[in-house]
Amino acid sequence: MMNVDNARFLIVEDSPTMRQLISFSLKRFRNAKIIEAVDGLDALRKLTGGDKIDLILTDINMPVMDGLKLVSMVRHNASLKNIPIIIITTEGAEEDRERGLALGANAYIAKPIQSSHLIKTISELLAV
């Protein structure tokens, strides 16, 4: 079981406001390392660039490469496929949730986010 306090997170969001808000929530984990990416492609570059990531938090609607494509590509990459992924999005309809989870995301959180819910979800995913 990994120590969640030392986890390395990759936040994939085109909105600086949301990136900062998610980073703020992750400060609950004392020694957490936070890496930010502005879209799916930027995230893939960072994931394959040498930084070990323990969990990915990604938005869906982003320019260049959206979050669903990123989830799919991560799940089809031999060295990245086991990284837990949380989708954080404004798309809160049930069919969107099902689509995200079917592609391989581990959790689906609809905005506006509740910090306590996010922390609980991360803790559960990394405690496995």
Tell me whether residue 6 or residue 90 sits nearer to other proteins (CB atom): 90
**Of 15, 35, 83, 101, which lies in the binding site for other proteins, with binding defined by CB under 8 A?**
15
Residue 99 sits in the site that holds other proteins (CB under 8 A): no
Q: Using CB under 8 A, count the residues that bind other proteins.
A: 17
> Which has the closest alpha carbon to 11: 81, 96, 109, 128?
109
Residue 92 sits in the site that holds other proteins (CB under 8 A): yes
Q: Per CB under 8 A, which region of 33-41, 62-70, 78-86, 90-98 contacts other proteins?
A: 90-98
| Interface pattern 19-48 for other proteins (x via CB under 8 A) | -xx--xx-----------------------
Q: How far is the CB of 80 from other proteins (least distance, A)?
A: 27
Q: Could you identify the residue written with the tokens 């959790």?
A: 107
Backbone torsion region of residue 104, taken as left when φ is above 0, otherwise alpha when ψ lies between -120 and 50, otherwise beta = left
Residue 77 sits in the site that holds other proteins (CB under 8 A): no
Residues that bind other proteins (CB under 8 A): 15-18, 20-21, 24-25, 90, 92-93, 110-112, 114-116
